[in-house]
Every structure is written in structure tokens, then in C-alpha cells.
Amino acid sequence: MYQPLARKYRPQTFAELVGQETTTEILTRAIQLKREPHALILSGIRGVGKTTFARLYAKALNCENGPTPVPCSTCESCKLIARGSHEDVVEIDGASNNGVDEVRRLQETLHYVPQRSRFKIYILDEVHMLSISAFNALLKSLEEPPPHVVFLFATTELSKIPDTVLGRCQIFHLKKIDTATVSDRLQSILRQENIPFDVDSVFDIARGGRGSLRDALTLLDQTIALGDGCITPTAVAELLPHVSLQFYFSLLQALQEKNGRTCIEILQKVDANTDEYGDVIEELLRQIRNASLLQHLTGVSSSELLRQLMCNEQELQYLQSWGAKAAPFEVNRLFRTFMKCREELDGSEMDRYVVENYCLEWCMDPGFPTIESLLESPTGVLVASTNVTPSSPVGASSTASTRVTPLSTATEGIVGDPPRSSDIPATFPDTWQGLIEAWKKHQPLQARKLEEVYVLEYSPTQISVAVEPASMIASALLQKETQKKIEEQFRSLFRFSGTFTASLHTAPAPPSESLLDQKEKAQAQFRADVEQAARTHPFTREIETQLGGKILRVELQ
């Protein structure tokens, strides 16, 4: 009968346990020093070797040559423990034996001496599933166990174990096994099985294990069956399309090109083969993170990059090429966008829609302009701002006015370049507001600054204004040279034939309303009108009537 690879190649010694060197070193040294712990908690994700580690420790303690960090694996005790049939090594499923009664029955057996070996060892898998009362029943036994008793607890959720239990045990964290280590182990097994394989395909299978060697071995078994006894790219792509490097390369390329249609087509492959969109986005984030790091890790050797990023050469070359065509800030934005996407995934059927929406939203996002594009732009129209005019009726569509000042204008003083003759009004504007609106067509920054002044006199022969000491333009506008330049522009622009003067306003009350004051008053009135309309709307009144409530506050977005 066929034996699955995960069972056939289960480690029989600590040396064969890959990816957990630190934990192995600590425990083997403890055995050498005859300081063997009698209560251990092995924590980690599924498939990283928790139960295997517990069995190896049991073999180390009960081997006929032990306690020894290198059990012989040939004595009767070692063989029985490896098969899971040793009478002194009891394996208990914490998920199905999680009540206080089961724990009390276990405690009744603690004082019986071992039948065959030195220690009576209890391995409790998924120990976090025990009830609080069951944990409480264990406390006394954990604190003062009989000298021949050893407790080995395995858990995937350490946070669910009470602190009173944690404090009575030595805790060992079994980490995720990195993809390169898993890939090396899979290749070693394939060579022993005489199975032909493609190296990159094995790496994809290792990636699909997501840090779990057991899961990777299960995928390896399935791929062998699908590939007629071989490991081929075709078999991997058919079984695990969302694990294949090419899947992520294609998705990254589509996101870089902002091609929404291609993104949807790629995601359809995921929907047809798995519902684990969370895993897909996490791997995508890993790829984006690696691309971002490569943009900054200059002068580092390829071998060191492969080690730091835990990727293969094909992946490294693609990410370097992809990152070379992307601005670092855009890569950062892409990472943050899909981090938010991952947070919204909950394992439901809506996950696909969430991922699609984030991809399409990214593809529609025009991004931020670069400094180069700002400098090269002849018109300066690069950033849009939408203003709702105060006179807009409630419910009417707002009008968007778009204009951006180029860098040369944004950094100038109160006076800039002369206007185009084609835009000069035929006659002198009737009002100060009319003059400012006309000037905005040529010098928008200057015109907006002059909205702050108070007009003392306005005529074709004399324009006099006053300025507050604390205003933004006071220091510039009070200079005679600036006033002279503005006067010259008014002459060329508006058929102005007089003089322009500016003085400092120090009286308690302003001499008149500035255009800025008028605008703020109009905006305040507009907001008040909108709020009143919202409060008196028939729909609002109906809600108040039906719910018997009262509108306390209206917030305008």
C-alpha cells in the first residue's frame, strides 16, 4: 500500500528536522546536561513539525541508550514510538478530549510507573482546545509532576493557553520553514524517489506550502499524480495556478500597466482553483515587498539577495526588472493598497469581489505627478481641485474648476510674468471683483492674494487698498517697487491710467469687506442653506416621525 511522502519521510532524528535548528540545539544541550524539561509547549503553524518534535523528544528520553540527544531508532522503544504504539507514550487529541473529566481520568494514570521505559510521556495535540476547567485541573500536575512523567503540549494558538499553564512549562516556538529550505528538502526526497523534476516547479510547490513542510509534501504527492510521475511546470500550473511565479509576474505586470481587464482574467484562475484569496494577496504583498527592497539594496551580491528575500533566481531577476520600471513611491503605494485589501478579506464569498475592486481601483488611479512632469508641463494643468460654488442650489450638480499653477508661478513673488494681449479686457472693469477675476486668468496666485485687501478707492485713475499687518501679502505689497509693478500690469491689462497705492490698515474695524470676507460669508450662508434644506426635507421629517427622534446635528461632507 502506498505511503504518503509526509509519513514516509517523517524525521527520525533531530538532525533530520529541518528549519528548527535553534529549538533542536536548546533541547539536545538540555539532554546532554541531564536537565531535561518535564513540561514543554511546542507552538507553531500546522505542518512545521510540532508532533514530530514531540515524538523525537520521547525517543530521546526512552531510547534504550538514553536519555540521549541521538536516539538509536533501532531499539524496540524507538521503533514503537515511531509507529505511535508505545505503551508509555500516550498521544491525546486535545480537540476531542477537552473536558475536565477527560483530564481527571488522565491524572488517575500519572502515578502508575512506566511499563517498558524510563518515562511515561503524554503528548497533547491542539492543547489550546482544552476548557478552562480542564486547564485548571492540570495545574497541580504540571507544577509537581511525578519524576517519571513528561508532558508535551502542541498548539497552533499559543495565545489561547492560560498564563498559569504557560508559566509552568518551557515554551518552544517552531518557526515557519522558509521556502528555500522546503524546496531543498523536496528535491532531496524526489531524488531518493527517482522522480524527474523541474527545479522552478519544485520551488513553486514549496511556496504553496506557506512555511509548512507537511503541506508542501502533500502538494508534491498531488503534483506527481497529476504529472504522470514527474514534476512539471504544466502540472504545477494546473494544480496551483495562484502559487506559480508566472501568476504573480503576470498580475504585477497588469497592475504596473494599469490594465484592469488583464487583472480580472488572471483572478479568474484563482476563483476556479481555490477560495483562499487571503493567501493570494499575502503572496502578492511578499512580491511587492521584495521588489521594494531590491530598489534600495544596491551593491548587494545575488547570493545575499536570494538569502535575504528567500526567493529563487528567476524571481529575483523578474522583480529587479519590474522594479526598475516603477517609481519607489508607487511601489510603496501599491503595497499599502493591498495591505488594506488583505485587511478586508474575511474568507467569505465576497473575497473575490473585494480583490477585484482593489485591482480595478488601482488601475483607475492616475497616481501622483513626478517632479520631472511638473517641470516639463507647458500648461501647468497637473492637479485638479474641485470647488462647489456657494450659489449652487441644493441637489444640483457642482461645477469643477481645474487649474494648477506650474512651479515657476507657484514660487514667484507677488508679481510674475506679463499677460497675453489676447486676454486684455476692452474696457476698465467696473468693479474690483471684476478686475481680480480678469487678473486670475493671467496671474492666479497674485489675484488670490489680492482678495485679502480692503479697497479704499477704485476708479480708472486711482486704486488704493489697505492690508492687515498679519496678512500673507503685507510685507510684499507695502513695498513701493511691488506697487509700481502692479500698477504697470494694471495699465497693460485693464486700460488703467492712474496710480496704485497700498497702505497698512491699523484701525479696529475694517474699512470695508475684502473679497475673501465676501467669499467666506457666501460659503457660510451656503452651508447654512444646505443644513436647513436637509433638516426640512420631507424624507428627514418622515424619519423623525417614524422613529420619534430628533435631528441633533447635520454634517456636510
Residue 337 identity (one-letter amino acid)? T
Domains and CATH numbers, the chain: 5-173 (3.40.50.300), 179-239 (1.10.8.60), 245-364 (1.20.272.10), 419-512 (3.30.300), 523-557 (no CATH)
Per-residue pLDDT at 443: 75
Report the length, in residues, of the chain: 557
Residue 67, preceding bond cis, omega within 30 degrees?
Answer: yes
C-alpha cell at 155: 498548539
Residues in contact with 301: Cβ distance below 8 Å, sequence separation at least 6, in sequence order = none
Q: 56 and 71 in contact (C-beta within 8 Å)?
A: yes
- Helices 515-536 and 432-440 pack at an angle, to 10 degrees, of 90
Per-residue pLDDT at 376: 55
HSE-up of residue 81 (Cα within 13 Å, Cβ side): 34
Give the C-alpha separation, 539 to 395, whole Å: 14
Other beta carbons within 10 angstroms of residue 534's beta carbon come to: 15
Give the C-alpha separation, 17 to 199, whole Å: 22
Per-residue pLDDT at 406: 38
Q: State residue 161 phi and psi, 5-degree precision.
A: -90, 130
Per-residue pLDDT at 515: 86
Give the C-alpha separation, 212 to 205, whole Å: 11
- Report the candidate in 56, 57, 42 with the shortest Cα–Cα distance to residue 94: 42
Q: 332 and 296 in contact (C-beta within 8 Å)?
A: no
Per-residue pLDDT at 414: 52
Q: 294 and 321 in contact (C-beta within 8 Å)?
A: no
Query: Per-residue DSSP letters for 517-531?
Result: HHHHHHHHHHHHHHH
Does the pTM exceed 0.95?
no
Residue 31 identity (one-letter amino acid)? I
What is the chain's pLDDT, residue by residue, as a tens digit (557 residues)? Answer: 678 898 888 988 888 888 888 889 999 999 999 998 999 999 999 888 899 999 999 999 999 987 999 999 899 999 999 888 899 999 988 888 888 888 888 888 888 888 888 999 999 999 999 989 889 888 888 888 889 999 999 999 999 999 999 999 999 999 888 888 899 999 999 999 999 998 888 988 988 888 899 999 999 999 999 888 899 888 888 887 666 778 889 999 999 999 999 999 988 877 766 657 888 899 899 999 999 999 988 888 888 888 788 788 888 889 999 999 988 889 999 999 999 999 999 888 889 999 999 999 999 887 766 555 555 554 444 433 333 333 333 333 333 333 333 333 333 445 555 555 555 666 888 898 888 888 887 777 777 778 888 898 999 899 998 888 777 677 778 888 888 888 888 888 888 888 999 888 877 777 788 888 888 888 888 888 888 888 888 777 777 777 777 787 777 66
Place of cell 435631528: 551
Give the angle 234-257-379 at the CA atoms, nearest 5°: 175
Give the C-alpha separation, 72 to 78, whole Å: 7
Q: State residue 89 phi and psi, 5-degree precision.
A: -120, 105
Query: Per-residue DSSP letters for 414-443?
Result: S--PPPPGGG--SS--SSHHHHHHHHHTT-
Per-residue pLDDT at 53: 92
170: β partners: 40
DSSP 3-state percent helix, strand, coil across the chain (nearest 5): 55, 10, 40
Sheet holding 499-504, edge to edge: 454-459, 462-467, 499-504
Give the C-alpha separation, 388 to 354, whole Å: 32
Residues in contact with 321: Cβ distance below 8 Å, sequence separation at least 6, in sequence order = none
